[in-house]
């Protein structure tokens, strides 16, 4: 878990993305982030998922054998803006998911 968190923080720092709140679990990540307007969400996700997959598989060679030729992370992701709901609602959602898993 700490490795995933470190990698995500590194990518965010490189791209100038601010992590407002994040929740890591064993099989998924919830993040509330502020992405600069010149960076697309898809590019940000590509960097996070690609770098974390590579680093985790380097750290744990048994996973590299298991996922060889396959996707480590799921192909998709969900994204929405905070314009339709308040930041407080997003934070409540993340809090609910930090208690699960």
* Residues with active-site annotation: 93
List all residues 6 or more positions away from 23 whose beta carbon is below 8 Å from its beta carbon.
Answer: 29, 30, 31, 94, 97, 98
| Sequence-ordered strand ranges (E) for the chain | 18-24, 29-34
Output the CA–CA distances (angstroms, integers) from residue 66 to 29, 45, 51, in the order listed.
21, 23, 18
């Amino acid at each position: 878990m700490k490795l995933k968190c470190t990698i995500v923080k590194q990518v965010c720092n490189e791209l100038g993305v601010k992590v407002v709140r994040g929740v890591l679990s064993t099989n998924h990540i919830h993040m509330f982030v502020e992405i600069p307007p010149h960076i697309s969400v898809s590019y940000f996700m590509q960097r996070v998922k690609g770098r974390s997959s590579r680093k985790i598989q380097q750290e744990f060679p048994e996973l590299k054998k298991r996922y060889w030729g396959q996707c480590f992370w799921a192909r998709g992701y969900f994204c929405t803006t905070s314009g339709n709901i308040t930041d407080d609602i997003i934070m409540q959602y993340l809090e609910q998911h930090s208690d699960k898993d």
